[in-house]
């Protein structure tokens, strides 16, 4: 704990890529910050920054140090939350990296439910794609992640996984709305809007289309906003695609949603996970357990 303030300075410099910029961000002088870094390196016994013509960057020793610092901060947060639990305060902060589909309905309900018993706990909810979510876990920027099919699972420890079949979203009066399930080839006969290629839905749709021989997946519009796509189909005889966890079937208001046939497109896997080997703070661990139970009930 002696060097926690030093670690904060080191992280700021690493993030800014410059002692001068980091000093401006922290409202201290560059010379004072430079002396603090130099003094730490002398005590540590090794240089941690590579000095460049236009700034600095962490060297391999610095990368190892910053990982240690983040782990130490996480351990301290876990200890503080355990002490808070002992005293009955139930405080803490939970940071979540999540796919966009979790924002409208699932996470607000789960966070409100948790805070009804733990009013001292605060949250950060950050929209991240699969790659970004795992990166945030590895840097301790997020405690848990709730994302569809991360590309890299090296450091991602899966807590719970449920399958989510892709749903076709359309106007309630659309000709496909009368079907219980929808075939992909029928969807491609209509104008369609789709997520950008970093989203799991788009990956699954592209893969399914490549394996078929009846058409190409050529959206008339691409977007990073599922809200935009859901509203767009109200203005044209078009269709959109979304995972059901991002839909409220009782409040679609002029829209209909039907599952794509599993014969055509594989379901997406929604994964709740954390950094492999990390012991979560008490609040994050309890909330993760609540999420796991809620997801399992959806699967049933």
Domain 90-163+269-299: CATH superfamily is: Periplasmic binding protein-like II (3.40.190.10)
Equal CATH topology for 90-163+269-299 and 166-266: yes
Q: Domain 4-64's class?
A: mainly alpha
Give backbone dihedrals phi and psi of 57, rounded to 5 degrees, phi first: -150, 155
What residue spans define the domains of the chain?
Answer: 4-64, 90-163+269-299, 166-266
Query: Residues 283, 286, 290, 296: what is their CA dihedral angle, to the nearest 10 degrees?
Result: 130
Question: What per-residue confidence (pLDDT) applies to 1?
Answer: 54
Question: What per-residue confidence (pLDDT) applies to 110?
Answer: 97
Evaluate whether the domain defined by 166-266 bears CATH number 3.40.190.290: yes
**β-pairing, 91-98 with 120-127?**
parallel
Sign of CA dihedral 260, 267, 246, 100: negative
Question: What per-residue confidence (pLDDT) applies to 288?
Answer: 95
**Tokens 């090296």 label which residue?**
154
**β-pairing, 255-259 with 167-171?**
antiparallel
Task: Report mean pLDDT in 10-residue bins for the chain, 300 residues.
Answer: 74 86 85 86 85 85 82 72 58 89 94 93 91 87 88 80 94 92 91 89 88 78 91 91 90 89 92 90 91 88
- DSSP labels, 56-88: EEE-HHHHHHHHHHHHHHHHHHHHHHHHHHHTT
Give me the helices (H) in 56-199, please.
60-86, 106-115, 130-138, 184-187
Q: Rounded distance, CA 237 to CA 256, Å?
A: 12
* Global confidence as pTM: 0.70
């Amino acid at each position: 704990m002696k060097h926690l303030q030093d670690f904060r300075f080191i992280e700021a410099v690493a993030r800014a890529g410059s002692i001068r910029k980091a000093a401006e961000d922290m409202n201290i002088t560059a010379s004072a910050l430079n002396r603090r870094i130099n003094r730490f390196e002398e005590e540590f016994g090794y240089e941690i920054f590579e000095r460049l013509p236009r700034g600095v960057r962490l060297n391999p020793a610095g990368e190892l140090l910053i990982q240690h610092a983040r782990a130490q901060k996480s351990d301290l947060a876990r200890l503080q939350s355990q002490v808070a639990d002992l005293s009955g305060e139930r405080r803490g902060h939970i940071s979540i990296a999540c796919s966009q589909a979790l924002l409208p309905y699932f996470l607000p309900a789960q966070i409100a439910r948790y805070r009804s018993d733990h009013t001292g706990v605060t949250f950060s909810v950050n929209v991240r794609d699969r790659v970004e979510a795992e990166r945030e876990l590895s840097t301790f920027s997020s405690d848990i992640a709730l994302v569809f099919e991360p590309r890299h699972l090296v450091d991602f420890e899966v807590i719970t996984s449920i399958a989510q079949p892709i749903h076709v979203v359309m106007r309630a009066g659309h000709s496909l709305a009368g079907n219980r399930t929808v075939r992909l080839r029928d969807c491609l006969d209509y104008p369609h809007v789709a997520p950008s290629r970093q989203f799991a839905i788009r990956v699954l749709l592209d893969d399914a289309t490549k394996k078929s021989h009846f058409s190409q997946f050529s959206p008339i519009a691409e977007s990073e906003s599922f809200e935009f796509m859901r509203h767009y189909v109200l203005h044209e005889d078009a269709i959109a695609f979304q995972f059901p966890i991002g839909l409220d079937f009782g409040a679609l208001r002029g829209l209909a949603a039907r599952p794509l046939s599993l014969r055509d497109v594989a379901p997406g896997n929604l994964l709740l996970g954390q950094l492999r080997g990390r012991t979560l703070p008490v609040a994050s661990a309890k909330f993760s357990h609540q999420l796991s139970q809620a997801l399992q009930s959806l699967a049933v």
